Amino acid sequence: MVERGKQIPRGHEFFPDEIREAGIPNPDDYKEYSEREFNRFTLTGQWDSLFIALLKERCHNDGLSNEDLEDQFKAHINRGVLLLGQRVKNIEDINRLVQDLKE
């Protein structure tokens, strides 16, 4: 749960951006990017419940069950990182993203 008065950390904004992308990401499309295991809590930290709530809502809207959460989490993260990679090609792109987050 997000404590009153605290904001979601700005560095995690790629996940909400990705979660708004059209279409259900197919976990099988990202197998080649999933050679390394990662701990979800390492990525989400104290905001884990918020990210899981967003993902549960997305899965519900997509007609998926809670049994699909783990695979969908990985697929959304992979798709989000790939989308971010398309937006960031140089240091100026990073600066632009940071400025956009400040607005």
* Secondary structure of residue 40 in the 3-state scheme: helix
Does the pTM of the predicted model rise above 0.75?
A: no
pLDDT of residue 102: 74
pLDDT of residue 35: 67
Buried b (16+ CB within 10 A) or exposed e, 89-103: eeeeeeeebeeeeee
* Secondary structure of residue 50 in the 3-state scheme: helix
pLDDT of residue 78: 85
pLDDT of residue 49: 93
Give 10-residue mean pLDDT values along the chain (103 residues): 44 56 84 72 90 91 92 88 86 85 71
pLDDT of residue 60: 92
